[in-house]
A and B are shown apart, each in its own frame.
Chain A
Amino acid sequence: MSVVLGKQEEALPPILPAAESLPAPKETTTKPVTVIRPRNAWVPLDLWEIWRFRELWLFLTWRDIKVRYRQTVLGVLWAVIQPLFAVLIFTLFFGRLAGMPSDGIPYPLFAYAGLLPWLFFANAVTQGSNSLVNSAHLITKVYFPRLLIPASAVGAAAVDFCIAFTLLLVLYFWHAWRGLIAFPGLNMLLVVPLMVLLALLALGVGLWMSALNVRYRDIRHAIPFLIQIWMFATPIIYPASLVPERYRWILAINPLAGIIEAFRAVCFGLPMDWLSLAISVVVSGAILIVAAYGFRRMEKGFADVI
């Protein structure tokens, strides 16, 4: 191989050996093969790669929780305090003063059971949408599946949810003890698949928002009030039955409505609205798939603009 020099002003002559002169590389299935195509191309999700990095996801989740409660006296108790005080205020204004119906469930319990999944979703999306920008120092220095960063925000929100859920159980048994509601049955276990569905929806929205936020920092300012509007568009502080029959379909388009109503139905043994839950599953799935592919497409440009 010889050294070829070109003058700076001239077009440079080809220097590298012709492709044919080198043997093709042997490909084996055991070695990871990475082909990076130019940006803007649609790329496969490569779930295997994400699975390979699962430990990193756990660590990032742990870090998110640790950072959130750093230097706080009450620590993770905040995960309970936030929904608790929200419920107190809602109970006072909507339950007592406005006399909001609550499907025959004591209003505080009704509101808390709606707020829990909602707060999980809202936290996951809010934290998730800022997560990439906050991890700029990692993104510009090392390659790993970027999807794990917003996914860790969902993980951290899930931990908060689990802590707050224990209080729901306490409230629940206390009300049941006093005979205000029936004792919970085994159908309460259905909470688990519902939360998985909600986590997938939160991941989908979080992926989308975080990727957009890298390029358009407007998202950071838009998210808080989008979340607030979304909250009122979802039957959290009011029951879906309050909405007149002919407008019910508007609620059904909102994938959160079906999930949260189902969450309450499972908790309190109310009749399940299978149709709106089915719509939620379809809409959530569609959001997640589109968001995941869009994210993979956009992630190549993250390091340039972040």
Chain B
Amino acid sequence: MAAVFLENVHLTFRVRQQYQITLKEYLLRGMFRASRNPIREIHALRDVGLRLRAGDRFGIIGGNGAGKSTLLKLLAGIYAPTRGTRRVVGRISSLFELSLGFEMEASGRQNILYRGYLQGETPRSMRKKLDEIAEFSELGEFLDTPVRYYSAGMLVRLAFSIATAIEPEILLVDEVLSAGDLSFQEKARKRMREMMSKAQILVVVSHDLDSLRRICDRGIWLDHGQVRAEGPIDQVITAYTSHVEHRRAA
């Protein structure tokens, strides 16, 4: 059974005001006087804990810069926690950005394989999916031309078709996606729903509170990297919106 555990996870980025470290700075390290280019610590996540098990539909809400996407990337393994532990049982699939890594020189078909491999698929598991993805994308013979000749709409369609062809155990979604022209959008929405229903664990970050209410059963509200509320999604959303309204009134 798939499961995700975060225990007391902190994530701190150490950044300098100026990106460059001069050699003098590096050698002296503020030995004699305070550095003019000090390291600032940014606490992206503070003491976050999560326990997700099969069947969970989990929503993450919060204002801009609250750490929602960062938390998702940490779950995906892109960032490692500065303190605390992350434990994942099962295969993670993530849908963050459609534009992820197309190889412009490669054909559509090759890109389907490439994206599959990036997400940990094997040639055997991809063989079954290749035709299905090709058909869904409606790109026909264009699949054999290099991706650099695709129109923006075709790229989106291909990206969406690949991204949603996975059979996820643990699915992380950043903003529920919509893609393509009107007729494709209808198809896309249906496929998205199907995929999400197949996942054992689903974690969604979104500003669209209504769809979160429909999709999720539990959730958290993040604020400045801290968990402000955790529980049934309705209550978390209510807490969040009343806080926002309260602030607006003040």
Interface set of A (CB-CB < 8 Å, partner B): 1-6, 8, 12, 15-17, 19, 22, 25-27, 31-39, 52-53, 55-56, 59, 63, 66-67, 70, 137-144, 300-301, 303-304
What are 5 residue pairs bridging A and B, where the CB atoms are less than 8 Å apart in the complex?
A: A1-B230, A3-B236, A15-B227, A31-B2, A38-B81
Give the tally of cross-chain contacts (CB within 8 A): 142
Contact in complex: A3, B231 (CB < 8 Å): yes
Which residues on A sit within 8 Å (CB–CB) of B236? 3
Given contacts A34-B87, A38-B83, contact A5 B77 (CB under 8 A): no
Given A33-B89, A35-B87, A142-B96: 11 more A-B contacts, CB < 8 Å: A1-B232, A2-B231, A3-B231, A6-B228, A16-B227, A33-B87, A33-B88, A34-B92, A36-B85, A37-B85, A39-B81
Asked if residues A12 and B228 are in contact (CB atoms below 8 Å), the reply is yes
Q: In angstroms, how far is the closest chain B Cβ from the Cβ of A154?
A: 18
> Which of B2, B97, B117, B218 meets A59, CB within 8 Å?
B117
- Inter-chain contact B228/A39, CB cutoff 8 Å: no
CA gap between A1 and B207 in the complex, in Å: 23
Q: Is B91 engaged at the interface, CB distance under 8 Å to the other chain?
A: yes
Task: Give chain A's interface secondary structure class.
Answer: loop
Q: Interface on B for A, CB 8 Å cutoff? A: 1-3, 5, 7, 13-14, 47, 49-51, 53, 73, 76-92, 94, 96-97, 100-101, 103, 105-106, 110, 113-114, 117-120, 122-123, 218, 223-224, 226-232, 235-236, 239
User: Are the CB atoms of A143 and B77 closer together than 8 Å?
Assistant: yes
Q: Complex Cα distance A38/B8, Å?
A: 11
The one of B1, B77, B101, B227 that contacts A34, using a Cβ cutoff of 8 Å: B77
Question: When the two chains form the complex, which single residue of A16, A38, A52 contacts B49, counting CB atoms closer than 8 Å?
Answer: A16
**A33 / chain B contacts, CB cutoff of 8 Å:** 87-89
Say whether A141 contacts B79, CB under 8 Å.
Answer: no
Contact of B227 among A2, A12, A39, A144 (CB under 8 A): A12
B117 proximity list for chain A (CB < 8 A): 53, 55-56, 59
Residue of A4, A22, A31, A142 near B78 (CB, 8 A) is: A142
Cα–Cα distance between A25 and B50 once the two chains are bound (Å): 14
9 closest Cβ contacts across the A-B interface? A300-B80, A143-B77, A56-B117, A25-B3, A3-B235, A3-B231, A36-B86, A16-B49, A34-B88
Contact B230 A4 (CB under 8 A): yes
Beta-carbon contact of A142 and B100 below 8 Å? yes
